[in-house]
Chains A and B, each alone.
Chain A
Amino acid sequence: MSDTDAFEPVQNASAPSPAVGHSDTVVIMPETRPEWSRRNFIKGVIASGVTVSGAIYFGPALTRPQSLSAQGVERLITLNINGQTRRVDVLPGETLAMTLRYKLGLTGTKLGCDRAECGACTVLISDVNHYSCTLLTHRVGNREVTTVEGLEGANGQLHPVQQAFIDELSPQCGFCTPGQVMSAVALLRSNPNPTRDEARIAMAGNLCRCGAYDHYLNGVMRAAEETSNA
C-alpha cells in the first residue's frame, strides 16, 4: 500500500451494515416486533438457531471462516443442565458461562468479571458451587449442572432461598443475585443449619457492589431456618 492510500478516506466505513450472523446468514433486526428488547431479540435469535454458532455474541470477526478456525473446532457434546439433556456445539476454549448464556439461552447466569473473582457466574456442578466463567465447558462431562433457572419448583414457585432473599430485601441492584442464590443453595445442601459465620465464609466468593452483604446473610439465615422448620 502506498503512502497516499493510507490517507484516502475509507469508503463505506460508516455505512450501516446488517448485523451478520453465522457465515452468510444475515440477521435483520425485527423492527415489527411489538415488545422489542435486547433480551427478547437475543432469545429470539437463539430460538431461531442462529447463535448456536455463537456469532451474535462473538461479533462479526468470528463470522469469517479463517477467524472461526482460529478459535479451534467446535465439537458436539451432551450436557446435563437443570435435569435436561442439552446437546450443544462447543469450542475448545469456551467457558461454561459462555455456553449457558449464549448458546443455551440460560441468561440467568451472569458474567461480571469473567476472571473468577466476582461470583456472578456461580452455578452448581454436582451440588458444589463453581465459577462458570473459569471452567471449560468440555470439562463438565456428564456431571449435573444447576443454574438459577433450575431452582424453580414444579408449579413455578421460588426456591426457599429466592423467597428468603425477597423477604429480607437482600438484593439491591440484583446483578449479583443469581450467583448469591447459587452459593446459598450450595451451602444449604451441604450444611442445612449453618451459623452466621459459616454462612459468611460460604458466601465470601460472591461480591456485591451495592454492599448488601448483610442483607444476603439475613436471607441465607432465614432460608436455613425456614427449610429446617418445613
Chain B
Amino acid sequence: MMKDMIPGFELIQPSSVEGALNLLEEYREDGWALAGGMDSLGWFKNRGKRPAAVIDLEGLDALRGIDETSNGIEIGALTTLTEVERNPLIRERFSLLSEAASKVASPQIRNAGTLGGNLCQDTRCWYYRYGVSCYRAGGNTCYAGATEALNREHAIFGANRCVAVSPSDTAIALVALDAEMVVRNSSGERVIKADSFFMEPAVDIMRMTVLNPEDLLIKVRIPNTWNGADFYFEKASDRGSWDFSLVSVASAIKSTGDRIDDARIVCGAVQCIPRRLQEVETMIRGQIRNEDTAAQAGSMAVQGAEPLDYNHFKIPLMENLVKRAVRG
C-alpha cells in the first residue's frame, strides 16, 4: 500500500452550486466532483483516477439538509450518512433509508460520507480497483469473469462483459421507496427515477450511473407513497461490524390485514445496478403474507441467476433474504 502524497491536481473550491456546475462543464472528463471523499481519495492515492481538477463541493451548503415538502421529503445530496441515519423525519416515515444508512461502512465514514456519494460511488470490483485495464477502465477484457478469477463478491445477474456489482446500501432503499434523483448541470435540471438512475454495463460499461461528467446530483426526493409501509432491510457481509454487502435486500410492503396490496423488493450486490424484483412484486400482490408466499418469492427471486466460479453461495443467500423480507 502506498502511503505517499496524492498526485497533484488543481483544487477548486466553489462557494455556489452554479459555480460548481460551471466548473464541471468546463473540465468535463478532466474534472472530479468531490463530496465526502470516501471513495475519491482511495482512487487518487492508488493512481486509479488522476483528474486534472478536483471540484470540492464542501462549500455548497445549499446541498445539505433534509426538508419536508408537500408530498414527501427532500434530502440534499451532501447530507452526511450519519444525518440521514439520525434524522427524525426520515426515521418516522422511511426507516428503511435510516437503517440502510446506518449499515454503510464505519461511523467515521458515515460522518464524512454523503448520501449523494454513497449513490454515485464506483464499484468495488477489486480487479478494477487495482487499476487493471479492464472493460470498465476502457480496456478489452474482464479479469473478474476470467477462468480462475476470484469473484465471490461479483454479479449473479445481468453481467455484460463486466461482472461488477452495485456497492451502495442506500441505493436499494431509495429504489424501493420510489425515490427521484434531481440532477443539474449548467444548462438545466432533470429528474430521474431511482430505478433508472443506475447504469447497466450493457448500456455504458464505464459509468455506474446516468450522470455525465458535467452533471451533479443535487438532491433526492422521496414521495410519501411508501410512508407507513412495512419495511425490511438486511445486509449480509463478511464482517458483522462493517463491510460491503455480499447480498442485501430492501423491501417495502403495504398490506390490508394479511393480504399484500403492493410491494417493492430490491436486492443489492447481485448485479451492476440495484436489482428490483418486479416479477416477485407482481406475484405477491394480493397474496396472503405468510411462509408459503415468502418461500415462493424467494425461489422466484433467484430464477435465472448465473453464478461465476466462486459466488454460487449468493443464490441461496439472496433467496433467503428475499424470503425474510416477504415474511417480515
Q: Hey, which bits of chain A sit against chain B, CB under 8 A?
A: 54, 58-59, 62, 69-72, 91-95, 98, 111, 113-116, 119, 122, 128-131, 134-136, 138-139, 141, 183, 201-202, 204-205
Is B225 interfacial (CB 8 A cutoff)?
A: no
What CA separation (Å) do A116 and B109 show in the bound complex?
7
B 227-250 binary contact with A (CB < 8 Å = 1; else 0):
000000000000001100000000
Contact, CB under 8 Å: B242 / A205: yes
Partner of A93, one of B11, B106, B109: B11
Closest residue on chain B to residue A119 by CB atoms:
B108
A92 and B109 contacting across the interface, CB-CB below 8 Å: no
Chain B: CB-nearest residue to A134: B41
Are B1's CB and A93's CB within 8 A?
A: no
Number of interface residues of B (CB under 8 A): 32
- Bound-state CA distance A122–B37 (Å) is 15
A205 touches B106 (CB 8 A): yes
Contact indicator A130/B108 (Cβ below 8 Å): yes
Interface, chain B (partner A; CB < 8 A) = 1-11, 13, 34, 37-38, 41-42, 44-45, 54, 56, 58, 82, 105-109, 111-112, 241-242
Closest partner residue, chain B, to A75 (CB atom): B11
Chain B min CB distance to A110 (Å): 11
Closest chain-A Cβ to B5's Cβ sits at a distance in Å of 6
Bound complex: CA A128 to CA B112 (Å)? 9
Q: How far is it, in angstroms, between the C-alpha of A116 and the C-alpha of B82 when the chains are bound?
A: 16
Contact B5 A205 (CB under 8 A): no
Please measure, in the bound complex, the distance between the C-alpha atom of A70 and the C-alpha atom of B7, giving whole angstroms.
Answer: 7
Q: List 7 A-B contacts (CB under 8 A).
A: A58-B5, A93-B8, A95-B6, A113-B1, A128-B82, A128-B111, A204-B107
The smallest beta-carbon distance between A214 and chain B, in angstroms, is 13
Partner of B107, one of A58, A98, A138, A202: A202
CA distance A93 to B37 in the complex (A): 12
A114 and B111 in contact (CB under 8 A), knowing A95-B6, A95-B41? no
Q: How far is the CA of A53 from the CA of B111 in the complex (A)?
A: 30
- CA–CA, A69 to B42, complex, Å? 22
Q: Kindly identify which residue among A114, A130, A204 contacts B3, using a CB–CB cutoff of 8 Å.
A: A114
Nearest A residue to B53 by beta-carbon distance? A92
B302 to chain A: closest CB distance in Å? 31
Tell me the minimal C-beta distance from B237 to chain A in angstroms: 13
Determine the chain B residues whose CB is within 8 A of the CB of A92 once the complex forms: 8-11, 54
Contact B11 A72 (CB under 8 A): yes
